[in-house]
Amino acid sequence: MATTMQQRMLEAMLPADLAAEPERWQQRKSVRTRIRLVEAAIDCLVEEGYAGLSTQKVAERTGASRGAMHHHFATRMDLAAAVVEHVFYRRMRGFLDDYLGSVAGARDEALFEISTEAYWRSVQTRDYAAYVELAVAARSDGDLERVFLPAARRFDAVWIGEMIESFPQWQARWETMKLVNDFVVTAHMGLLLNLPVIGERRAALVRRLVARTVAMLHAEAAAGAFEV
């Protein structure tokens, strides 16, 4: 059941690259180098920002030639688009791996707290750093935005949809669940970006406040589930 959920969510976010595992060796090799290129691109993105994501550096990093790079991704934006797909997929996979491990056998009441902590961990990953870079770059780059926003909305839709599907017993509290989710997502993104300024200590206090707010909403929803 849990694995089914994971499978469904991952499949919904699967990049076109990884859709079909081909049997021909040539194509398989092609897929492998494509993935290597995208991985290197993510490294570039994290280390040097969206501006540093150049086809040249990515090719150099993987040891591939510029020709091979251009064969797989004709333009820089093609590469960026592939990176967007992969980053969302990897974020989903990373979170699910961590979350499903820590949630095993937890009580209903602890669920929100466990989820929140898992989410905070996910925010501190390399994949999330890449995601932030893309999200911000998309604000001032129309071409990137046209690739990024649909992917982000799909991620959101899969996330919310699966959340609803997975907890049918909370039907009356779905709106609250969605709100809690949005709240945690936004608060943690802001927290990550402000971390260098406010420092670990204050960040931990804010994180505790976020957890308290989530708990408060959860308690409220549990009490008033039939009044809404």
Partner DNA sequence: AAAGAAACCGGCAAGAGTGCCTGTTTTGCC
Partner DNA sequence: GGCAAAACAGGCACTCTTGCCGGTTTCTTT
Interaction partner, residue 4 (a copy of itself, DNA, none; CB < 5-8 Å by kind):
none
Half-sphere exposure of 28 (CA within 13 A, CB side): 5
Q: Which is nearer to DNA, 76 or 178 (CB)?
A: 76
- Per-residue x/- mask for a copy of itself, residues 51 to 80, rule CB under 8 A? xx----------------------------
The listed partner (a copy of itself, DNA, none) that binds 122, CB under 5 to 8 Å by sort, is: none
d(CA 208, CA 206): 5
Say whether residue 21 binds DNA (CB under 7 A). no
Please pick, from the candidates 3, 26, 140, 169, the single residue that binds a copy of itself as defined by CB under 8 A.
140
In contact, 10 and 97? CB cutoff 8 Å: no
Question: First vs last Cα of the chain: how many Å apart?
Answer: 30
Select from 219, 223, 213, 132 the least CA-distant residue to 180: 213
Residues found near a copy of itself in the complex (CB under 8 A): 46-52, 129, 132-133, 135-141, 145, 149, 152-153, 156, 178-179, 182-183, 185-191, 193-194, 196-198, 202-203, 205-206, 209-210, 213, 216-217
